[in-house]
Amino acid sequence: MTFGFIIFYKVKRMTPEEAQKAREEWSKFRRMTAREELAEEPGGGGVRMVGEYSHCWGMPYSGFLVVESEDLKSFHEWWHKFRELTRWYVDEVHTVISQKVEHV
C-alpha cells in the first residue's frame, strides 16, 4: 500500500542570509531523505520525495511538496525531522493524505 502526501507550506519573509541558510539546510535534508530511501529494504517503507513545487497560485501558500511512503510510521518519523528543520522559517503547513489506487 502506498500513501501520498501533499504538504503545502508558507515561508516567512527572510533576510538574504536567512534564505541562504534555509536553502543549505533544505539541500542537506533532501540528500538525507534520498539516502534513507535507498537504504530501505524492498517494500520496507521509507519516504520518497516525488516533487518540490514553488508557488501555489490560487492558494495562500509559498509552495508544496509531494511525498510517498509505504507506511504511515515512516512518514510520521520523516515528518518530525522535516518540522524540526523547517520550523524556524516555515510559518504554516497543511498536509493532505491519501492512499494510492493500485490497479490490477
CATH number (domain holding residue 92): 3.30.70.1030
49-89 residue pLDDT tens:
999 999 989 999 999 999 999 989 999 999 999 999 999 99
How many domains would you assign to the chain?
A: 1
Q: Quote the domain boundaries for residue 72.
A: 3-99
- Residue 35 in any domain: the answer is yes
What are the Cα distances from residue 2, in Å, to 23, 69, 77?
29, 6, 16
**Of all residues in the chain, what percent carry a pLDDT higher than 90?**
73
- Residue 104 in any domain: the answer is no
17-26 residue pLDDT tens:
999 999 999 9
**Angle between helix 72-86 and 16-39 (nearest 10):** 160
- Residue 66 in any domain: the answer is yes
- For the full predicted model, state whether its pTM sits above 0.75: yes
- Residue 93 in any domain: the answer is yes
Residue 103 has a pLDDT of 82
CA-based torsion, 78, 80, 83, 85: positive or negative: negative
Q: Is the pLDDT of residue 43 over 80?
A: no
